[in-house]
Every structure is written in C-alpha cells, then in structure tokens.
Amino acid sequence: MRVLHIAYQQLRRYGKTRVSWGQKLTHGLIKNSHQVQVFSDRDVAAFEAPFGIRDLGKRKANQRLLETVAAFAPDLIIAGHCDIITNATLQTIKQRCPDVVIAHCNNDPLFIPDNVTRIKHRAAVVDALFISTGRRELTVFENLGPRLYHMPNPVDPAFENLNNSIRSDLPVDLLFCSNSDDFTQRLKLVKSLKERLAGELNFKTYGSFGDPPVWGRDYDRALADTKMGLNLNRQEGDYWYSSARMAQLAGNGILQFTHSAPRFDQLLPAESVVYFNDQDDLLARIREFHHDDAKRQAWAAKARDFFHLEINNTLYAQYILEASLQLPFSHDYVWAQDINLDGSLK
C-alpha cells in the first residue's frame, strides 16, 4: 500500500527530540513493506514561511500537501496531530481523490477539553478515528460519521532497546520525568513521595522541583540508569489511557507503577505492572519492590516481553492500516479485543 503519513518529524529540533509515536507508526508501516511518504506540516510551514515564522507558512503548507498527494497518489492518508492542515484541504483531497481513505490518529487525553473539540472537528472529514483512550470511553464521538477505534502506545525496538530487567547494578532506583503541569495535581503526589522516601532510595524527578527536563540522548541516559519508574498520567481514570511513558518504561525493562483506575489489569498480564490505589498503597509497593530486586526484575521482564511481542509498532501500524481500509484483521490485537472491524463495540 501507498501511505501518506502527516506527522510532525521534529526536523528543527536537530536531534534534541522527544520519543515520537508518529515516528514509531512510520517505522511500523515501513517494516510491513508499505511505501510511506511523510509530510511534516509544522516543519514545512516553517521552511516555506518568510523569515521562518511558522504561522506565516500555514497556507503554503496546505498547498504543498495537495501537491504531495497529487504526486504520490496514496491509498491511505494518516493524519496525526497536524493542526496546520485544515479540514478544507482534506476535503479537497477527498474531492480530487475519491478512492483515498483518510484516518485521523489522536494520542492526547480526553480530559483536555480542547482535544475533544479537535477530534470532533476532524471527524467531519475523515473515514476513521484512532484515539489512545479505550474504545468504551469513546461514545462521545459515536454517530459523527467516522469509524471509531482505540489505539495503544506501542514499543518500537529501535527506541525501546534496553533491557534493565536483567540488571541489578542500576544507580537510579525510581524515576519520574515530566514537563507539563496543566490539568494535573500529580506533582503533589511526587513531592510527598520524595519527602517520605528521602534517604531510602535514589529518586530522580527530571522536569520537576527545579530539575530540568531531559530530552533526546539525555532522556535515553536517564532510562538506561533506572530500575523503576512512575507512570503517572496528568489525570487518572480514563479506561486504557496512559501517556507514552507506559510503553517507554515497559519496553526498556523498567518496572512501572501505574494507577489502578484505567484498568490496565484487563489488558496486561498479571505480575507485569504494579498497580496502586492511593499514595500510601503506592509508597508500600515502591518499598516492596525496592527491597526485592529479584521480584522487580521478574515483573519488569514480563512486561517487557509482552509489550515487545503484542504491543509493538509493527502490529500497531498494521492494525491502523487494516482498520482504516476495512481489511480483515491479520492478528488478534490485544488492545482491540472489544472492537469489531467496523469500529463498533463487540
């Protein structure tokens, strides 16, 4: 298949990049032998704009996308987080190429009101929606037109290439990295944990309490030193929603602690991820695994094996392509156990 993937490629960050689910999707499509053309809307807008001022290049970026579609003739267009591309441009593509299928992938949480608005806006012009919250939470988007699917955050062996579950010499006992304080109270929990665990273990909190955030190779190095990590969402409770942090920790063999409310126990195998209900419960579980390194290694290894086998970017990419084009599922995707091919709930 010929796939045009509209996704921010972080070209102007010049290597100081964030781990990108969009890049993982592109890699997965290529591994599945699809011909992929990537269009980075933000970078194109900046490159085409006078003086590199991105907002001045938005109109030109939309024109360049139309030129790309005409030249590449895709079977499928996957539009990620690409707000520079207008619905009018996508409608023009549909008019000019009536056989092309357009899917929108959204990896942001639904507790951000603007994100719900963005998804509904995009729903007016696409054939399928893929959202990183569990399918049963997506009823607000039903009857808008597009088929509706859940998608996970996958691992990519090119990114998640560590196996800390086999190591006992790691200097960092517990890690939490963040860069956003919007719509969240999680730093209150992290601060309390730091105070109560002071002197007991080495707890790094990059991006909080005066510690600068880490990106690119600095983030890779932080992960490489770590035994256990906190997977704290900005808000907890949405079914099967987690930030990409879950895959980054699990895929690198780092034991993670995550809240029980999203019910990942219904998706992931037992004794792989450590669930907690409240602060005291989390504190006790951290201490339990800190003092039992063999147990920490066993659970982290089980999570790593499962993610690399069943929630990897090759399966992820093939699922999005098959669902978008209504091709029978070629795999029993664990995250789609409650989804029919047409996007309806089983």
d(CA 253, CA 338): 28
Give the C-alpha separation, 92 to 205, whole Å. 47
Provide φ and ψ at 102, rounded to 5°. -120, 125
- Spell out where the chain has E strands: 2-6, 35-39, 76-79, 101-106, 128-131, 147-150, 172-175, 203-204, 226-231, 255-259, 274-276
Contact 275, 259 (CB under 8 A): yes
C-alpha–C-alpha distance, residues 135 and 293, integer Å? 36
Each residue's pLDDT tens digit, 24-47: 999 999 999 999 999 999 999 999
Question: Tell me: the pLDDT tens digits for 315-340?
Answer: 999 999 999 999 999 999 999 999 99
State the Cα–Cα distance between residues 204 and 226, nearest whole angstrom. Answer: 9
Cα–Cα distance for residue pair 25/78, rounded to 1 Å: 10
**Two tokens, residue 99:** 């056989």
Q: pLDDT tens for residues 163-195?
A: 999 999 999 999 999 876 655 688 899 999 999
Percent of the chain with pLDDT over 70: 99
Instruction: Determine contact, residues 125/102, Cβ cutoff 8 Å.
Output: yes
Query: What per-residue confidence (pLDDT) applies to 113?
Result: 86
For residue 170, give every residue at least 6 positions away whose Cβ sits within 8 Å of its Cβ, in sequence order, or none: 164, 225, 226, 227
Whether residue 84 is predicted with pLDDT greater than 80 in this model: the reply is yes
| The pLDDT of residue 19 is above 90 | no
- Structural domains of the chain, with CATH: 2-154+312-336 (3.40.50.2000), 164-310 (3.40.50.2000)
pTM: 0.94
Binning pLDDT at 50, 70 and 90, where does residue 248 land?
very high
Q: Would you state the structure tokens that stand for residue 73, as one six-digit string?
A: 């003739």
Strands 172-175 and 147-150: unpaired
What torsion, rounded to 10 degrees, do the Cα atoms 107, 109, 115, 119 define?
50
d(CA 166, CA 22): 29
Each residue of 190-247: pLDDT tens digit?
999 999 999 999 999 998 888 888 988 999 999 999 999 999 998 998 999 999 999 9
